[in-house]
Amino acid sequence: MDTYIINGRHKLDGSIRVQGAKNSVLPILAATILNAGTSIIHNCPELRDVEAALKILRYLGCSVIRQGDTIYIDSSQLCKCTIPHSLMREMRSSVIFLGAILARTGEAVVAHPGGCELGARPIDLHLKALSTMGAEIKEYAGNVSCAAARLRGSIIDLSFPSVGATENVMISATTALGTTVLHNAAREPEIYDLQCFLNSMGAKISGAGTPVVTIDGVHSLHNTEHEVISDRIASITYLACTACAGGEILLEGTIPDHYRSVTDVFCRSGCTVTTGKDYLRFRCGGELKAVSPIVTSPYPGFPTDAQAPVMAALTKSKGITVFIENIFENRYRHVPELISMGANIRTEGRTAIVTGVSALHSASVSAADLRGGAALVAAALGAEGESIVSGLSHIDRGYEHFDENLRKLGASIYRINDTYRSEQNGTKEKAPQNAQ
Ligand code: UD1
């Protein structure tokens, strides 16, 4: 397993182009099943989760070719309607394939995605919506099966604006008989991107980005080409890294409008943010100030995915910041690791109280989930001395060229594998320049 060796306190400076959005490309890849034809998707980041989705598409019988950041999918030869546990467990969000396979073939059997590092993560809202649309649902031996010769348009009211359930409804209702009206839909930018993709292949969907999405079912779809939006969480993570290490960076190809709730927090804590339609300049010159409580909530509220990286930045602020995590019950697994680096954080259920300290010190820490792992990297970039971050398989799920981008900005971060480390027999040597 690989680890990052990070020497902290190097100011970040320079510009990088932000990757395509993981949370957009995943539902879009699932939706390519619908048109029984070709889809050309641009701006697809190279990530472990994207590879897992491509593996599922290939397993189902689709032809998949990647050339750089463009993926060509031909779903005309799709021949299976099941996803086995071995593929489902690689990525929890593969539940998004459920609606797509069902709509295309009339039947779908997927292994229950089960819990994950963030908590229980039930799929009841997905299943209830599909059942309302006429699917017959059975759960047995760790599998979920759905069957419906053709789904029917329905009125669906989500009890919570679940991102995944909204996507599953949009995808499965695209070719349903009649109109589906989805109330209390998630409003994330990735939902709007999915609408753009589906409409580009002939769907008739409106309202994405508002709480009511209307899907007029169509009989057939055609080939399409689409460019995935920029990843707002990756952008936020680079800001958090800069807030930890200090410095000034320019993010290109980003959409600052998609993460105002987070840049507002950074501005209130003393950072400077200048934005254009597709760029953001960020400067953190000195000590951050604590801010009023940060409460995670569905978009356009403060994103749960930004909680850990922003917490890392505020560990060195002046004063006390309270975090309240309202989306996932188990999303403070980075906290003990940050404490081992000298942070002062107390958690009580969904609340974390961060009392700023003047400095963090190096430590050997381990990522327990994707965004928590990114937070540890950010913290290490601002800590005195050499830190080791392990558990990179989590970070690889969501960040493309992470260490490379950070080095481009002047960070001292190197990826090495355990063999190299054990060869050093415990003697701490500087990572070689070419270790990646
Ligand atoms: C998506 C994002 C993830 C982000 C999350 C919240 C992708 C691939 N992942 O995940 O990065 O953190 O949105 O913004 O886009 N819930 C239920 N029943 C359901 C579905 C969800 O109770 O059927 C609960 C979940 O347990 C969780 C909350 O609703 O507590 C939010 O989940 P949801 O919005 O569905 O998140 P995901 O789509 O899984």
Which residues fall within 8 angstroms of residue 247, CB to CB, at 6 or more apart? Answer: 11, 12, 13, 283, 284, 409, 410
Angle among Cα 49, 339, 393 to the nearest 5 degrees reads: 15
212 neighbors 188 (Cβ within 8 angstroms): no
- The answer to the question of residue 222 being in a domain is no
- Tell me if 276 CB under 6 Å of ligand 1: no
Which residues fall within 8 angstroms of residue 431, CB to CB, at 6 or more apart? Answer: 5, 414, 416
- Tell me if 123 CB under 6 Å of ligand 1: yes
Cα(162) to centroid(ligand 1), Å: 5
- The answer to the question of residue 357 being in a domain is yes
116 is catalytic: yes
**For 366-387, what is each residue's pLDDT tens digit?**
999 999 999 999 999 999 999 9
Same domain, 339 and 403: yes
What does the alpha-carbon distance between residue 255 and residue 202 come to, in Å, rounded to a whole number?
26
Residue 147 reports pLDDT greater than 50: yes
Measuring CA to CA, how many Å separate 51 from each of 25, 91, 386? 11, 10, 32
Measuring CA to CA, how many Å separate 278 from each of 22, 195, 284? 18, 21, 20
Q: Among 192, 299, 327, which is best to mutate for testing ligand 1, by the most ligand atoms less than 8 A from CB?
A: 327
- Tell me if 328 CB under 6 Å of ligand 1: yes
- Tell me if 164 CB under 6 Å of ligand 1: yes
Percent of the chain with pLDDT over 70: 94
Which residues fall within 8 angstroms of residue 336, CB to CB, at 6 or more apart? Answer: none
Which residues fall within 8 angstroms of residue 393, CB to CB, at 6 or more apart? Answer: 1, 48
- The answer to the question of residue 224 being in a domain is no
pLDDT of residue 116: 63
Say if residue 86 is exposed, middle or buried (CB neighbours under 10 Å; 0-12, 13-18, 19+). exposed
**For 265-290, what is each residue's pLDDT tens digit?**
999 999 999 999 999 999 999 889 99
pLDDT of residue 432: 42
Same domain, 187 and 166: yes
- The answer to the question of residue 201 being in a domain is yes
What does the alpha-carbon distance between residue 36 and residue 79 come to, in Å, rounded to a whole number?
11
More confident residue, 53 or 427: 53
Helices (H), 174-294: 189-200, 232-245, 260-268
Q: Which atom of ligand 1 sits closest to the CA of residue 164?
A: 38
What does the alpha-carbon distance between residue 46 and residue 100 come to, in Å, rounded to a whole number?
23
Q: Which atom of ligand 1 sits closest to the CA of residue 329?
A: 30
Domain range for 173: 22-216
Same domain, 274 and 152: no
The predicted model gives 156-179 an average pLDDT of: 98
The predicted model gives 401-426 an average pLDDT of: 84
Residue having the nearest C-alpha atom to atom 8 of ligand 1: 23
pLDDT of residue 258: 98
**How does residue 114 score in pLDDT terms, banded at 50, 70 and 90?**
low
What does the alpha-carbon distance between residue 375 and residue 395 come to, in Å, rounded to a whole number?
10
82 neighbors 109 (Cβ within 8 angstroms): yes
Same domain, 161 and 289: no
pLDDT of residue 110: 92
| Average pLDDT of the chain, as a whole number | 94
Strands (E), 9-54: 12-17, 38-42
**For 306-330, what is each residue's pLDDT tens digit?**
999 999 999 999 999 999 999 998 8
**For 72-91, what is each residue's pLDDT tens digit?**
999 999 999 999 889 988 88
Q: How far is CA 346 from the centre of its chain?
A: 26
Same domain, 240 and 119: no
Last residue of a domain, one of 216, 248, 276: 216
Same domain, 201 and 244: no
Q: Which atom of ligand 1 sits closest to the CA of residue 121?
A: 26
- The answer to the question of residue 435 being in a domain is no
Last residue of a domain, one of 162, 185, 216: 216
What does the alpha-carbon distance between residue 237 and residue 4 come to, in Å, rounded to a whole number?
16
- Tell me if 98 CB under 6 Å of ligand 1: no
- Tell me if 309 CB under 6 Å of ligand 1: no
Residue 247 reports pLDDT greater than 50: yes
- Tell me if 124 CB under 6 Å of ligand 1: yes
- Of residues 79, 81, 116, 271, which has the active-site annotation? 116
Same domain, 266 and 196: no
The predicted model gives 331-341 an average pLDDT of: 97
**How does residue 141 score in pLDDT terms, banded at 50, 70 and 90?**
confident
pLDDT of residue 286: 81
**How does residue 94 score in pLDDT terms, banded at 50, 70 and 90?**
confident
Half-sphere exposure of 76 (CA within 13 A, CB side): 7
What does the alpha-carbon distance between residue 24 and residue 228 come to, in Å, rounded to a whole number?
7
Paired residues of 205 in beta bridges = 215
pLDDT of residue 93: 80
The predicted model scores a pTM of 0.95
Counting the structural domains of the chain, the total is: 2
Same domain, 26 and 111: yes
Same domain, 9 and 100: no
Residue having the nearest C-alpha atom to atom 39 of ligand 1: 164
What does the alpha-carbon distance between residue 52 and residue 64 come to, in Å, rounded to a whole number?
12
User: CATH no. for residue 103?
Assistant: 3.65.10.10
